[in-house]
Structure 1
Amino acid sequence: MRKQILLGFSLLASFVVRAQDSTTTATPGKFTFSGYMDTYYFGNFNSPPDQLNIGAAGGARAFDQRAGQFGVGLVQGKATYTSDKVDAVFDLTWGSFADLGNYGNVFSLNSGAATSTALAIKQAYITLKASPKLSFTAGQFGTHIGYEVIDAPVNYNYSLSNLFNNGPFYHIGLKAQYAFSDRVYLMAGIVNNVDRVYDNNHAKGFIAQLFVSPAKGWNVYLNTAISNEADKKANGKDSTGMYAIYDLTTTYQITDKFMLGLNAVTGWQTGGYQQGANPYATATYTTKSTNWGGVAGYANYAFTGKFGMGVRYDYFDNSGAARALLAADGISGVTVKSLTITGNITVADGHVLLKPEFRMDSYNKDKFYDSNSVLKKSQATLGMAAIFKF
């Protein structure tokens, strides 16, 4: 396998060199620097004793985990170089959300080290443009799967959906993209695995995306990631622990003010190391095959150039207990329905976004503590996020 990959890289390098040499002289590149930071406060109507809104077994929300406290989510500094022949991105992040988004990363290759600058790397990749239609990207890049991203200024809602929270978040590897036209492109690539910088076995994962724009303002993305996620056995051979996810993301800008969106996902994993209650802890080995899936609908309306409202309803089925959404016992699988209503207020010449937000999470089993430490099936939070971007 390694020989085939090295041979493929050699052929790819030769092709890119010939393709770039055949193009005309490139115009000078452009360097840009951007970033953001976000801070928030959310109150929990259940008033749990420890002010956690993540539920008794954890995992109810992957990022905005604490209520009744002020918090800083993520600080980003992103440098981008763009030219006719190459793009390069250095996307560094700090803060609690940055660590959570890198949950599969090892702290350090140095034995005994508690922290590492590797956790600051959100994205770091190079894109070579072999032709106006064909490009190759290598490095660490955010996942192509899903409707939402980790970047708070990009999402309309501040809290992230259950579909996003169950990943994947990022990949590291090589991908190629070919644009058949302005309305159709295909991306495919090989990666180490899912949500992990270093490969834990000999196998490589496969990723792909098909983009189609059937009409003006209507975008459709068909996405997948397939990977053997099991660790190597003591004899050096790989265990079987296949992971696969299939994702549909679509948006339709009906008018300049009104947009609809949809995200539907189904996934399965069989054998190998499957995740338990804590998505940031070591998974346990199992031989069972488990499916999960969900759907999320979005509607956003801009009343003015500086004020809008967005509604999201999402449903996630983790009855098989493969992913992180579990009941209070930390074992039983659940289904969860969430309704999120978010305002978007733009101030300070567009540099500051204020996002007041109400969210209700409803489980089919006990999940959340109230002020008397009694378990309940639902929780509601209300708060505000402030985002500065430049």
Structure 2
Amino acid sequence: MLKFTFANIRLFLVFSLIALLNIDLQAQEESKSPFIISGTVDAYFRTNFNGINKTVYDDNGDPLEPAAAPVTSFANDPGFAIGMANVILGYEGDKVGFVADLVVGPRGEDAVFLSTGSPAIVNQLYVYYNLSDKVRLTFGNFNTFLGYEVISPAANFNYSTSYMFSYGPFSHTGLKADFTIDENWSAMLAVMNPTDYTEFNPIGKYTFGGQLGYANDAGSAYLNLIYGEQSLSDDALFQVDLTTGWNLSDAFYLGFNGTYQTTDGEGFAGAAIYPQLSTSDSFAIGLRAEYFNELADGGPAYGADTNTTAITLTGSYTYGNLIIKPELRLDSVDGAKPFMDSDLMMQDNLSSFLVAAIYSF
């Protein structure tokens, strides 16, 4: 029986508005309206080859963790599972505009994990003002500018996500200024709440961000950094990140992400390459080869002074607005045994398979 709670009513109103706006979407496209509606829906099936495929409980009835998946963000549930429904409403004026990016589902909840309660469905919510053709101010909640990967499953080549993405920031709330230096070079400066505090600032401290970018027809490179205290302690987080990708030919693309994050000696360093080969207009195959080192004073995934190698091979077949992604992944940890096999014994590696379906509109 459907329970009419405040959260359900709010979701109903949001998606009713989306449906009403979508009725005239084709007419908007024909008239080149500044109003934009877009989004994605995704689901997947996941299984382990050498690990358990169910939740295991202890004698008190509490789930044991970690057990059946890499401790990275998204795509970690066994069997048939859902990702998220994502709807982006926007207005692109000559001077001003806004983005309201709404999500529901497990992937969406993980993406806004510091928001309060399951009714929180805001992934991004910001307004912008073009001071000139070279300066844009953005105010509100926006996804992070660090890293190679993003929250949207349609914008990543691999469906599962990397360790660097999972333990870097997801989103920021604050004010940023984007500068166009010339036709190739750009820069950005930002002042923001502590990382991932998206609704408000609970501690009265702020984080500063910066970016220097270069782009041409063949690809781009971005050097990013953030610095600031993330809690009531006096220890500041520092992260520097390089993201780059280039089309080396019409069919071959090579991306790279390297990052280093520390807070008083605790944190991680990592690097990953992303080679991708297009075999036709509808099919491509890509690899993510990642090395993730957790610092000796403490790490976020498997513990201090551990090293993880994660190899992910993904196929991507496109049919219209639908993308099918089969994926093989092998995670191997040096210094810990975080995974559980079918005999409930701990082991240092896990091989898994998933296939995802993503629809974009």
TM-score (norm 1): 0.79
State how far apart, in whole Å, the 1-side matches of 2:243 and 2:121 are.
28
Q: Find the counterpart in structure 2 of residue 39 from structure 1.
A: 43
Any idea what SS the aligned residue of 2:292 has?
strand
Gaps of 5+ in 1: 1-27, 108-114, 232-238, 271-288
Any idea what SS the aligned residue of 1:164 has?
helix
State how far apart, in whole Å, the 2-side matches of 1:153 and 1:51 are.
28
Please report how far the alpha carbon of residue 58 of structure 1 lies from its aligned counterpart in structure 2 after TM superposition: 7.9
Q: Find the counterpart in structure 2 of residue 80 from structure 1.
A: 90
Q: Find the counterpart in structure 1 of residue 113 from structure 2.
A: 103
Deviation track 1:255-275 (CA, whole Å, cap 9, x = no partner) reads 2221100000011102xxxxx
> In the alignment, which of 362, 366, 369 is matched to residue 332 of structure 2?
362
> In the alignment, which of 287, 296, 306 is matched to residue 272 of structure 2?
296
**Is the CA contact (8 Å cut-off) linking 1:49 and 1:372 kept in structure 2?**
no
> In the alignment, which of 200, 203, 208 is matched to residue 202 of structure 2?
200
Gaps of 5+ in 2: 1-31, 57-63
**Is the CA contact (8 Å cut-off) linking 1:166 and 1:323 kept in structure 2?**
no
Please report how far the alpha carbon of residue 49 of structure 1 lies from its aligned counterpart in structure 2 after TM superposition: 5.9
Deviation track 1:90-117 (CA, whole Å, cap 9, x = no partner) reads 100010011111112233xxxxxxx43x
Q: How does 1:194-233 map to 2 (within 5 A)?
A: 194-197=195-198, 198-213=200-215, 216-231=217-232
Please tell me the root mean square deviation across aligned C-alpha atoms, in Å.
Answer: 2.0
State how far apart, in whole Å, the 1-side matches of 2:66 and 2:116 are.
26
Q: Find the counterpart in structure 2 of residue 144 from structure 1.
A: 145
State how far apart, in whole Å, the 2-side matches of 1:290 and 1:192 are.
21
Q: Find the counterpart in structure 1 of residue 52 from structure 2.
A: 48
Q: Percent identity?
A: 29
TM-score (norm 2): 0.85
**Is the CA contact (8 Å cut-off) linking 1:59 and 1:324 kept in structure 2?**
no
> In the alignment, which of 242, 245, 248 is matched to residue 251 of structure 1?
245
State how far apart, in whole Å, the 2-side matches of 1:368 and 1:382 are.
15
| 1:37 aligned partner, one-letter code | V
Q: Find the counterpart in structure 2 of residue 338 from structure 1.
A: 310
Mark the CA change 1:54 to 1:342 in structure 2 (over 3 Å): closer, same or farther: farther
State how far apart, in whole Å, the 2-side matches of 1:54 and 1:351 are.
37
State how far apart, in whole Å, the 1-side matches of 2:286 and 2:317 are.
11
Runs of 4+ in structure 1 off by over 6 angstroms are none
State how far apart, in whole Å, the 1-side matches of 2:299 and 2:40 are.
30
Mark the CA change 1:325 to 1:121 in structure 2 (over 3 Å): closer, same or farther: same
| 2:109 aligned partner, one-letter code | D
**Is the CA contact (8 Å cut-off) linking 1:135 and 1:177 kept in structure 2?**
yes
**Is the CA contact (8 Å cut-off) linking 2:137 and 2:178 kept in structure 1?**
yes
State how far apart, in whole Å, the 1-side matches of 2:33 and 2:126 are.
16
Question: How many corresponding residue pairs?
Answer: 322
Any idea what SS the aligned residue of 2:181 has?
strand
State how far apart, in whole Å, the 2-side matches of 1:300 and 1:63 are.
22
Please report how far the alpha carbon of residue 66 of structure 1 lies from its aligned counterpart in structure 2 after TM superposition: 1.8
Q: Find the counterpart in structure 1 of residue 157 from structure 2.
A: 156
